Amino acid sequence: MKTLILLSVIALFPLIGMSQENPAAKEIPYIEVVGTGEMEIVPDQIYISFTLKERYDGKTKIGLEDQEKEMKKRLIKLGIDLKDLQLADASADYIKIKRNKKDVIASKDYLLMVSTTGTLSGVFEILDEISAFNADIKRVDHSEIKKFRKEVKMQAVREAKEKAGYLLEAIGESVGKPLFIQERESYNEIQPMMMKTMMSAMNTDQKEEEQLPELSFQKIKLKYTVFARFAIK
């Protein structure tokens, strides 16, 4: 019986070898291409960071609460919803800074979101008028960024299929079903803010006749790439 089983196993080896001799015979012919999708969008979420500090006007101390009330009043007048204003560091209400080992100066760091460049310009005017410090544009974003990412990725896949189609058409073939699609990660999706002139700091020593800088920044640029493999009909 053992001899019979051994002979049966030996007889199977040639059949297995025959099935693996020519794997290319069963391989589906394919074409590999790369597709890219791009889009530029105007940001509708512009985040401004700035600081308010206790200060003196002559011998009169102007506290944080008074400055904050005045700032909020002016922002509301500009049409800004105060829910878009928040402390930059939610865990700290304010920071105390020692000066000359005698006075203690309190300060608060804020983050304000605006949606248009017109409002942005108005906010910088207000910050200048109330003598805010370190006013800067922290970052930009868009409220529908996820939808736009999806559209760009779909665009990249469509371009890949289109490219495979006209490349195969050149040799009299046509594109078949997709066999493999892989998204290539993009790490430079949102370009940094580019300012023609940056308002880096504002203080009480600024002259009243000094003009505010011109604001200009780049659009958000989305770019995604996919690697795709399509069967050749």
For residue range 31-87, list pLDDT tens digits in order.
999 999 999 998 999 999 999 998 888 888 888 899 999 999 999 999 999 999 999
Please report the pLDDT score of residue 182 as a whole number. 96
Please report the pLDDT score of residue 58 as a whole number. 81
69-73: long-range pairs with CB below 8 Å, 24+: 70/130, 71/126, 71/127, 71/130, 71/132
Question: Which is more confident, 229 or 117?
Answer: 229
- Smallest Cα–Cα separation from 189: which of 39, 49, 46, 33? 39
Radius of gyration of the chain measured on its C-alpha atoms: 32
Range 45-141 classified under CATH 3.30.450.150: no
Residue 112 contacts residue 80 (beta carbons within 8 Å): yes
pTM (predicted TM-score):
0.67
- Type of residue at 219: K
- Say if residue 7's pLDDT is above 70: no
Give the E-state strand segments of 85-156 in sequence order: 85-87, 95-99, 103-114, 133-141
Return the minimum-mean-pLDDT range out of 94-98, 120-124, 141-145, 223-227. Answer: 94-98
Residue 50 contacts residue 135 (beta carbons within 8 Å): yes
Q: What is the DSSP secondary structure assignment for residue 29, as one 8-state letter?
A: P
- Kindly indicate the confidence band of residue 93, based on its pLDDT and cuts at 50, 70 and 90: low
Where b means 16+ CB within 10 Å and e means fewer, 174-188 reads ebbeeeeeeeeeeee
Please report the pLDDT score of residue 144 as a whole number. 96
The token duo for 210 is 């000094």
Which residue ranges does the chain devote to CATH 3.30.70.120? 45-141
Which residue ranges does the chain devote to CATH 3.30.110.170? 28-43+142-194+207-233
Alpha-carbon distance of 7 to 26, in angstroms, equals 30
- The residue written with tokens 């999806």 in the block is 150
Please report the pLDDT score of residue 154 as a whole number. 97
Mean pLDDT over 10-29 rounds to: 53
Q: Where does residue 113 rank: exposed (0-12), middle (13-18), buried (19+ CB within 10 A)?
A: buried
- Say if residue 6's pLDDT is above 50: no
As its CATH architecture, domain 28-43+142-194+207-233 has 2-Layer Sandwich (3.30)
Cβ neighbors of 112 (< 8 A, separation 6 or more) are: 47, 48, 49, 50, 75, 80, 84, 85, 86, 123
Q: 145-192 pLDDT, tens per residue?
A: 999 999 999 999 999 999 999 999 999 999 999 999 999 876 555 544
Please report the pLDDT score of residue 14 as a whole number. 47
